[in-house]
């Protein structure tokens, strides 16, 4: 085995980073715009109501935590930042962060995954990660809250 040359590693890293940003940057913008429009039109609050049973009963979080999960679809850090506006206990923060961490990080990554894996596999992975994230988050909530 050869030790990789730092110049080659840096070139490849820069190339892939710019490639991802070129492909995903548009989707970050589209996702942020979509969340903004959902908030203005009230659709975000409809999602909050739809997710309320899962959020309040299973995850034992306030109803408003659903907004953080929707924002987390745009960018994971948006979702985590959305938790700051909600009064949560340490245990609730733990459950919310575990759940946000486990689902597909953002819409841009989802689009890249669709291109790389195809629609059928990409959507299966996306739904699977959401199910696992909420399942594991809920199990943790049932144990610690």
pLDDT of 76 over the 80 cut: no
d(CA 16, CA 13): 5
Tokens of 32: 């942020």
Q: Which helix (H) or strand (E) holds 61?
A: none
What average pLDDT is seen over the chain?
86
| pLDDT of 23 | 74
Residue given tokens 């739809």 in the structure block: 50
The verdict on pTM exceeding 0.85 is no
Is 107:27 a contact under the CB 8 Å cutoff?
yes
d(CA 132, CA 145): 19
Q: Which helix (H) or strand (E) holds 52?
A: helix 43-52
d(CA 9, CA 107): 27
Residues 6+ apart with CB under 8 A from 125: 104, 113, 117
pLDDT band at residue 20, thresholds of 50, 70 and 90? confident
Backbone φ and ψ for 87, nearest 5 degrees, come out as -80, 110
Residue 141: how many other CB atoms lie within 10 Å: 22
**Inter-helix orientation angle 43-52/65-74, to 10°:** 120
pLDDT of 66 over the 90 cut: no
pLDDT of 73 over the 80 cut: no
């Amino acid at each position: 085995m050869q030790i990789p040359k730092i110049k080659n590693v840096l070139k490849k890293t820069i190339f892939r980073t710019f490639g991802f940003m070129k492909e995903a940057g548009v989707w970050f913008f589209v996702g942020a715009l979509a969340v903004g429009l959902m908030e203005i039109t009230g659709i975000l609050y409809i999602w909050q109501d739809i997710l309320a049973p899962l959020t309040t009963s299973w995850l034992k979080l306030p109803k408003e935590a659903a907004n953080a999960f929707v924002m987390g679809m745009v960018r994971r850090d948006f979702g985590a930042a959305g938790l700051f506006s909600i009064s949560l206990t340490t245990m609730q923060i733990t459950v919310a962060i575990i759940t946000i961490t486990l689902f597909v990080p953002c819409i841009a990554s989802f689009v890249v995954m669709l291109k790389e894996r195809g629609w059928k596999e990409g959507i299966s992975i996306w739904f699977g990660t959401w199910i696992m994230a909420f399942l594991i988050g809920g199990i943790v909530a049932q144990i610690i809250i």
